[in-house]
Structure 1
Amino acid sequence: MAALRKFLDYLYIAAGALAAICLVAILVLIVAQMVARWSGGVFPGAASYAGYAMAGASFLAFANALNRGAHIRVSILLNALPAGPKRLLEVWCFALAAAVAWYFTYYAYWFVYWSWKFKEVSQDQDATALWIPQSVMVVGGGLLAIALTDNLLHVIFKGNHRITRDTVDEGFEV
């Protein structure tokens, strides 16, 4: 189990690092497009590539953000409940969220499959095969589903979730 735990933690961190790389790619693409305009040139498809990188950054960051407490969780009710009902409510919340994430990932997979099968391409100047940027949506959704299931199992078997609070959030407590 320790090896699986280590692998999952590495997977979440790696996805977060890839999301950060996507953000840097957005910056590079926008600067390259600006330089092209200033020099009288054209960078066709830069806006589309930046959009793909933004989607990649969003979806790849989901699992890492969940485990670092960066997702919005309304904890007012949870903090007001005693331990037993709190645990049941957390199980229900994680189970529902995991089910929705797995549902999304399943249908996102088929969305990508049919884009690949029909050889769909972007309508912009880049004419990118759409299954390529759409695949990141499946990977990110799958990682989020795994992270939610991981937290669900942790609540069921250990009694608490694995979500930690960022130190930035802790600095603003009153």
Structure 2
Amino acid sequence: MLSKVLDRLFTWSGYLAGIFLVLIGILVVAQIIARMLNTQIPSVDEFAGYSLAASSFLGLAYSFRSGSHIRVTLITDKLSQPVQRVVLILVLLFALTMISIWSYNAIYLVYESWLFNEVSTGIIKYPIWIPQISMGIGVVLFCLALLEDLIRVVTGKTPNFEKNQERMAED
């Protein structure tokens, strides 16, 4: 049940990341047209940059879950299955620890920006926590994806990223 909820959450996060990618394209085309008309759209490069960050962070959990993250298995493939499992648990534990720290700091950054009413420095002024929140949400979702796969491996199941990577290889 929880796995299905997380799957939907990560999928929607991936869709949202895709929407931000499309938004980047729209902003770039709009700025090109504006320049052809001898004008500019204020802060469009800033919004495109925030869209890129949102797309990157919101896509982390989805791409991890689907097996799209790059993994180097040159050494681990030569190990026995039990040793591979131990190494995978250690790597997932290390990654979870690092991403948990990052999640805490990302959410704290958003909270501080909100608390101090920090605004952007560009031409268009807006609360800076609004574009920052995509980083906080994306990293927390990535942390949840790592935690779920760690639990799966510890309980003897195949991690989602390997399961989905195998499915993609079959297609």
Residue 68 of structure 1: which of 66, 69, 78 is its match? 66
Match of 1:27 in 2: 25
Aligned length, in residue pairs: 169
Coordinate RMSD, CA, aligned: 1.6
Determine the C-alpha separation between the residues in 1 that align with 2:166 and 2:32: 35
If the length of structure 2 is used for normalisation, what is the TM-score?
Answer: 0.93
- The CA deviation string for residues 112-166 of structure 1, in whole angstroms up to 9 with x for no partner, is 1111111111212122211001111000000000000011001001243111227
Residue 133 of structure 2: which of 130, 135, 149 is its match? 135
Match of 1:86 in 2: 84
Secondary structure of the structure 2 residue equivalent to 1:108: helix
Match of 1:100 in 2: 98
Match of 1:12 in 2: 10
Match of 2:165 in 1: 165
Determine the C-alpha separation between the residues in 1 that align with 2:167 and 2:39: 45
Unpaired runs of 5+ residues, structure 2, are none
**2:114 matched to 1:116?**
yes
Q: Is the 8 A contact 1:70 1:166 kept in 2?
A: no
In structure 2, relative to structure 1, the CA distance for the partners of 1:158 and 1:166 (3 Å cut) is: closer
Unpaired runs of 5+ residues, structure 1, are none
Determine the C-alpha separation between the residues in 2 that align with 1:85 and 1:143: 28
